[in-house]
């Protein structure tokens, strides 16, 4: 993210120059939801950045008990940027959470965990910088309807691009017939690609708040798109994801649309992922590059891949943390669940991009999605990769064939593991395998995180009948 201020003095000068009236302090909970509290600029001083902003930690899922609810937000002045959507000039500031009872940064604050992880990386001596380049795909719909009752369950999303609208009579328009069709949305021009202008507006707004973009295009599914954002260091890249999702959803909202980062809103069409590009650097040198290595990757990079794939089943509890995540990770939809690596091969969980050099050498992990808390997703990937470097883990591969064509027996014969098929499987893997996370995640955090996911995602979903179950079981 582009920096508008470098310190507290510059913050107040920036506010004065832009006639700021309100300061919006924002922080992220365990799930990844962005929360905010807004103060009048006249009630904020330099001391505020030291003393912090008080709030109720018991009102957030999985955080504090009510008898120990007082917590403090510690603003990060360098993260400040102007909110492009408020009627009155408002500046947004990222915050970390401080625990007044233990007198330390809060062990359940994802941004604080991310900062702790970067310090751990530096202290390890392996590298001093980790770069992350997430690709957050999303859908733009015209409407969404949701019913979740004791006797009835229903959802319905709609987009003019949907082939189900081929015979629709439009009240204020007409049926053009130009649609991408199922799995037909990759790179068609207008009028099949109907979201060019709204994507351009999204990009211009992202640039205005300091997010560097480089590409936008229609994706494979109906109503699905992507905007490419420049990579950054761990904390900043996760901050960027929070800003990105905020801008995307607000621009859609202001245009009478609705944007979602839900992995699999359409049955039978491609889902949305958050492919993550990564590299490690030390003293300005890319540790992932070796001209003589496989696809110009170093042994360090191969071991890093090995660590991620070895721990992937528990990593997925953070990178794919919703029940809907596992409806996307199925063969045939460019969402690999097979834990191997390959050059250019999008059916492998880890892809090595084509044409990498000493400054661009990186790996791409393809199974994460945007229901992930970006701080925790990047932390878990980095810690798993470092575990691989320390233990010189060798991944299965490279596999340069179309892995989606393999049968389950063939996958087993090749000794390739797969991601779990459900969130329950990932959480149970996290319970069994979390040692690699212990340097930066406390036992309390890991325990409360998995409990929260069971209570909000696993058990409620497992308890609800679905329309398909009525279709297959009603006449039993």
Is 67 annotated to bind a ligand? Reply is no
Rounded Cα distance between 223 and 201, Å, is 17
Determine which one of 56, 123, 401, 443 is catalytic: 56
Q: Hey, which residues does 23 pair with through a beta bridge?
A: 39, 91
Task: Find tokens 């904020």 and name the residue.
Answer: 44
Rounded Cα distance between 142 and 120, Å, is 45
Determine which one of 36, 181, 217, 346 is catalytic: 346
Is 279 annotated to bind a ligand? Reply is yes
Is 226 annotated to bind a ligand? Reply is yes
Determine which one of 26, 199, 218, 275 is catalytic: 275
Determine which one of 107, 364, 387, 428 is catalytic: 364
* 94 closest CA partner among 24, 31, 43: 24
Note if 137 is an active site residue: yes
Rounded Cα distance between 245 and 239, Å, is 10
Token output for 285:
């040198």
Determine which one of 160, 366, 387, 428 is catalytic: 366
Note if 275 is an active site residue: yes
Note if 219 is an active site residue: yes
Is 103 annotated to bind a ligand? Reply is no
Is 42 annotated to bind a ligand? Reply is no
In Å, the largest CA–CA distance within the chain is 71
Is 161 annotated to bind a ligand? Reply is no
* 378 closest CA partner among 131, 128, 62: 131
Rounded Cα distance between 29 and 111, Å, is 9
Is 373 annotated to bind a ligand? Reply is no
Q: Mapping DSSP to helix (H, G, I), strand (E, B) and coil, where does residue 5 land?
A: coil
Is 296 annotated to bind a ligand? Reply is no
Determine which one of 29, 96, 135, 161 is catalytic: 135
Is 135 annotated to bind a ligand? Reply is yes
Is 401 annotated to bind a ligand? Reply is no
Rounded Cα distance between 130 and 118, Å, is 8
Q: Please, where are the H alpha helices in 223-264?
A: 234-254
Is 47 annotated to bind a ligand? Reply is no
Peptide bond preceding 191 in cis form (omega within 30 of 0)? yes
Query: What are the start-end ranges of the E strands in 334-415?
Result: 341-343, 350-352, 363-365
Q: Please, where are the H alpha helices in 398-457?
A: 408-413, 423-432, 443-453
Kindly tell me the burial class for residue 357, based on how many C-beta atoms sit within 10 Å of its own C-beta (0-12, 13-18, 19 or more): exposed
Determine which one of 83, 226, 239, 428 is catalytic: 226
Determine which one of 160, 219, 269, 387 is catalytic: 219
Note if 67 is an active site residue: no
Is 451 annotated to bind a ligand? Reply is no
Note if 292 is an active site residue: no
Note if 405 is an active site residue: no
CB 231 within 8 A of CB 360: no
* 376 closest CA partner among 432, 292, 450, 283: 450
Is 270 annotated to bind a ligand? Reply is yes
Determine which one of 83, 96, 99, 137 is catalytic: 137
Is 277 annotated to bind a ligand? Reply is yes
The distance of Cα 19 from the centroid of its chain, to the nearest Å, equals 33
Is 219 annotated to bind a ligand? Reply is yes
> What percentage of the chain's residues is helix, strand, coil (to nearest 5)?
35, 20, 40
CB 346 within 8 A of CB 288: no
Note if 35 is an active site residue: no
Task: Find tokens 């969130």 and name the residue.
Answer: 423
Annotated binding site: 135, 137, 219, 226, 270-271, 275, 277-279, 328, 334, 346, 364, 366
Residue positions annotated with a catalytic role: 56, 135, 137, 219, 226, 275, 346, 364, 366
User: Binding site residues for Mg(2+), as ranges?
Assistant: 135, 137, 219, 226, 275, 364
Provide the annotated binding site for ATP.
Answer: 277-279, 346
Residues of each annotated binding site for L-glutamate = 270-271, 328, 334, 346, 366
């Amino acid at each position: 993210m582009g920096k508008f201020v470098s310190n507290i003095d510059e913050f107040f000068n920036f506010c004065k120059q832009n006639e700021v009236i309100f300061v919006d302090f924002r922080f992220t909970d365990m799930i990844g939801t962005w929360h905010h509290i807004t103060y009048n600029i006249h009630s904020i001083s330099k001391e505020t950045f030291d003393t912090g902003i008080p709030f109720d930690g018991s009102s957030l899922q999985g955080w504090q008990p009510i008898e120990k609810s007082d917590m403090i937000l510690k603003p990060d002045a360098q993260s400040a940027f102007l909110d492009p959507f408020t009627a009155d000039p408002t500046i947004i500031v990222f915050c970390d959470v401080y625990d007044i009872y233990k007198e330390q940064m809060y062990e359940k604050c994802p941004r604080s965990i991310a900062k702790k992880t970067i310090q751990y990386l530096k202290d390890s001596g392996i590298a001093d910088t980790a770069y992350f380049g997430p690709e957050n795909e999303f859908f733009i719909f015209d409407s969404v309807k949701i019913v979740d009752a004791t006797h009835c369950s229903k959802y319905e999303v709609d987009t003019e691009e949907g082939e189900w609208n081929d015979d629709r009579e439009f009240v204020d328009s007409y049926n053009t017939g130009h649609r991408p069709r199922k799995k037909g949305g990759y790179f068609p021009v207008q009028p099949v690609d109907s979201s060019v202008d709204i994507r351009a507006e999204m990009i211009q707004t992202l640039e205005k708040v300091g997010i560097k973009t480089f590409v936008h295009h229609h994706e494979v599914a109906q109503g699905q798109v992507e905007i490419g954002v420049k990579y950054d260091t761990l904390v900043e890249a996760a901050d960027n994801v929070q800003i990105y999702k905020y801008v995307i959803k607000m621009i859609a909202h202001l245009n009478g649309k609705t944007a979602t980062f839900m992995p699999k809103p359409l049955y039978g069409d491609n889902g949305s992922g958050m492919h993550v590009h990564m590299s490690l650097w030390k003293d300005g040198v890319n540790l992932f590059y070796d001209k003589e290595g496989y696809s110009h990757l170093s042994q360090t990079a191969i071991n890093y891949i090995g660590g991620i794939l070895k721990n992937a089943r528990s990593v997925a509890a953070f990178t794919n943390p919703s029940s809907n995540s596992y409806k996307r990770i199925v063969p045939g939809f460019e969402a690999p669940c097979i834990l191997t690596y390959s050059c250019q091969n999008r059916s492998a969980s880890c892809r090595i991009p084509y044409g990498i050099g000493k400054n661009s050498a990186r790996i791409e992990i393809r199974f994460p999605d945007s229901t992930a808390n970006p701080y925790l997703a990047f932390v878990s990937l980095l810690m798993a990769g470092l575990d691989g470097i320390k233990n010189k883990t060798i991944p299965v591969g490279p596999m340069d064939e179309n892995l989606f064509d393999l049968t389950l027996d063939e996958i087993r014969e090749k000794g390739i593991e797969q991601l779990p098929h459900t969130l329950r499987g990932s959480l149970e893997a996290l319970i069994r395998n979390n040692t690699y996370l212990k340097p930066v995640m406390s036992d309390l955090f890991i325990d409360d995180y998995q409990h929260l996911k069971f209570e909000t995602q696993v058990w409620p979903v497992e308890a609800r009948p679905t329309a398909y179950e009525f279709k297959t079981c009603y006449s039993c």
